[in-house]
Amino acid sequence: MTELRRLTQEWIDSDPDQRTREELSRLLSSNDLDELEDRMSSTLTFGTAGIRGVVEAGANRMNRAVVIRTTAGLAAHLLALTDTNERLVVIGRDARPSSEPFMTDAIGVLLAAGFRVRYFAAPTPTPLVAYAGLTMGACSSIVITASHNPPADNGYKVYDETGIQIISPTDSLIAEQVSLVGAANRIPRAADPFGHPESSAIGKDLFEDYLHDLSRSLPEVAGDRSLSIVYTAMHGVGGAFTTEALRRFGFTSVKPVARQFAPDGLFPTLSFPNPEEPGALDLAHELAEATDADLVLANDPDADRIGVSVPDPGGVWRPLTGNQVGCLLAEFLLSNADHPSGHTVINSIVSSPLLAKIAAAHGATTDRTLTGFKWIWNAALDLEEVGAGTLALGYEEALGYSVGTTVRDKDGISAALAFSLMAADAMANGQTVLDLLGNLHRKYGVAVSHQVSIRMEGTDGPELIEAAMTALRNGPPNVIAGRPVVAVTDFRENAADRPRYLPATNLIELDLGSAGRALARPSGTEPKLKIYVDLNEPFPESGDWMGAQAALVSEANDTGEALASWMRDAIER
């Protein structure tokens, strides 16, 4: 362990932050080698959403030293690509306690490296930072955010000159530059980042421009704008922006969840500020029930996702799945497009295959990509270049949606607007969102998607996850929960035969024939293995699609649990 102690001391000596120096020194003095191994044996690397981790001392954590070194590496990468006149970087942050100091350090490094910087002075939705970078012609944009992760986390998300999150090989090239920058306390930083002549705050007019551009991507439907909406920002940064956007588009009956409206990176009413988590929408549902609302909308903390709940026939508030929201939006947007054949709809490979049926019915082009909007938007641009049309909707099942072409990333503000317009249009025609979902199943068949996760915490977690994937790859089961496996696709293989937005990845698809499919992959942001099951069947003759859907979800859960059990057993074999 001599080498571990040496590396730790070197990190301490190079850390510009006294608090994290002392934190790591205490671990070194107490000889807590297991914790030091976890913090120092590796470094955070760019994944699905940049880098993300717990805010603590050490190379494998989020802290000022890591942010400074990462920004210096990014700057070195950009300097090799850009001319002097193109050296503009846009940067914003969420409301987590560490986000402002991290942004300050990043701006300081960029200015010292010769870049101009436009920054958001207050906590700002991630999609607005992406929009600003695209419309201002920035060579890169940075968002300091951990999105919907727990309060202890933070992250660093990077966009390139196209306004899209970076993909390979850019992530590897940046990581290589980071490895060369040296000690964090020796990296030059501007002394007064916010008073520097080459840095300036972004004004409120940018949001006006965003709303103007967004209006061109949304259908012109009258609808019933008296629709009663309960909205929660989940202590994130979306509150003022999403409610104002709804107001501008005529929705005058929007009731915010007051206790969760103001930005607060400590998330006092939530242990896990993610609309997908059980219990996360409890306060919103309580307000919706008390006010007899028609719809619940929930942004995640950086407002790039949207969760939706609707009342069932018994008056109980039910969250819609990400796939239900995505397929409803696709049907709505394509049905109201002047020329649907001039549009594309794209989802991630682990999202519902139902999208392909919807696209075919409307004559639109569709495709699937790896998880992450960096892939969805690269696919959108590639398809547009070959004449397939412009993007109407990109979505992934984890509540991420990109409506139109205003933002080249998932955007919870525009998705909230699009869904509200759809619900208002339905109300004007005497229908509810559940009626629309029933119509969708009647037209395309009952389709459900269900996810099962296996958490594998600790330092051996990645090894266990890889062992489970290797077992599935080398000897997959012939039957899962009574359903025959008719084919297996390993997406680590034959990448050359697929588009660039579906490259080699650690994903395995089990084809269950006409019944559906199951997929398994490691999470890109959390220590867990994810299993996705999609099943479908014809619309029931009885017309009871809700009963058929519930039964099919139960079958999908059984299928997912059976595969999870098989993979757990495979690790032990």
Per-residue pLDDT at 352: 98
CA separation (Å) from 402 to 157, 191, 207, 386, 389? 17, 38, 17, 21, 15
Strands 153-159 and 51-54: antiparallel
Last residue of a domain, one of 389, 412, 444: 444
Q: Is 302 exposed, middle or buried (0-12, 13-18, 19+ CB in 10 A)?
A: buried
Residue 506 has pLDDT above 90, yes or no: yes
Query: Residue 20 sits in which domain range?
Result: 2-203
Say whether both 91 and 147 belong to one domain.
yes
Residue 111 has pLDDT above 90, yes or no: yes
**% pLDDT > 90, the chain:** 91
Pseudo-torsion of CA 481, 486, 488, 494, nearest 10°?
Answer: -160
Average pLDDT on 283-293 reads 97
Say whether both 218 and 78 belong to one domain.
no
CATH of the domain at 119: 3.40.120.10
Per-residue pLDDT at 1: 61
Strands 116-119 and 199-201: parallel
Say whether both 158 and 223 belong to one domain.
no
Alpha carbons 355 and 477: distance in angstroms, whole number: 28
Say whether both 460 and 359 belong to one domain.
no
Confidence of residue 477 (pLDDT cuts 50, 70, 90): very high
Confidence of residue 355 (pLDDT cuts 50, 70, 90): very high
Three-state DSSP class for residue 152: coil
Average pLDDT on 384-398 reads 97
Alpha carbons 295 and 436: distance in angstroms, whole number: 14
Nearest Cα neighbor of 63 from 116, 99, 111, 25 is 99
The pLDDT tens digits of the residues spanning 42-97 come to 888 876 668 999 999 999 999 999 999 999 999 999 999 877 668 999 999 999 99
Say whether both 104 and 37 belong to one domain.
yes
Token couple for 454: 């296996």
Per-residue pLDDT at 512: 98
Last residue of a domain, one of 203, 234, 268: 203
The full DSSP string for 304-360 is: SBEEEEEE-TTS-EEEPPHHHHHHHHHHHHHHT-S-GGGEEEEEETTS-THHHHHHH
Strands 199-201 and 254-256: unpaired
Q: pTM for the complete prediction?
A: 0.94
Whether 267 and 301 have beta carbons less than 8 Å apart is answered as yes
Rounded to the nearest angstrom, the gap between the alpha carbon of residue 37 and the centroid of all alpha carbons in its chain is 29
Mean model confidence pLDDT for the chain? 95
Per-residue pLDDT at 525: 66
Say whether both 301 and 327 belong to one domain.
yes
Say whether both 433 and 480 belong to one domain.
no
**CA-angle at 535, arms to 493 and 343, nearest 5°:** 70
Nearest Cα neighbor of 345 from 318, 365, 327, 326 is 365
Alpha carbons 8 and 530: distance in angstroms, whole number: 34
Say whether both 372 and 456 belong to one domain.
no
Look up tokens 């299993």; give the residue. 531
Nearest Cα neighbor of 423 from 230, 214, 215 is 230
Residue 175 has pLDDT above 70, yes or no: yes
Alpha carbons 208 and 213: distance in angstroms, whole number: 9
Alpha carbons 21 and 331: distance in angstroms, whole number: 54
Look up tokens 């017309």; give the residue. 543
Per-residue pLDDT at 321: 96
Alpha carbons 233 and 412: distance in angstroms, whole number: 10
Say whether both 191 and 268 belong to one domain.
no
The pLDDT tens digits of the residues spanning 138-155 come to 999 999 999 998 999 999
Of 34-38, 80-84, 262-266, 528-532, the poorest mean pLDDT is in: 80-84
Per-residue pLDDT at 84: 63
CATH of the domain at 532: 3.30.310.50
Average pLDDT on 181-204 reads 96
The pLDDT tens digits of the residues spanning 507-544 come to 999 999 999 999 999 987 678 999 999 999 999 999 99
Say whether both 172 and 212 belong to one domain.
no
Last residue of a domain, one of 176, 203, 230: 203
Say whether both 306 and 436 belong to one domain.
yes
Whether 272 and 205 have beta carbons less than 8 Å apart is answered as no
Average pLDDT on 321-346 reads 97
Per-residue pLDDT at 411: 98
Question: Which residues are within 8 A (CB) of 431 and not within 5 positions of it... i.e. 6 or more apart?
Answer: none
Q: Which residues are catalytic?
A: 147
Residue 414 has pLDDT above 90, yes or no: yes
The total of structural domains in the chain comes to 3
Say whether both 108 and 17 belong to one domain.
yes
Per-residue pLDDT at 271: 87
Rounded to the nearest angstrom, the gap between the alpha carbon of residue 282 and the centroid of all alpha carbons in its chain is 22
Alpha carbons 189 and 525: distance in angstroms, whole number: 30
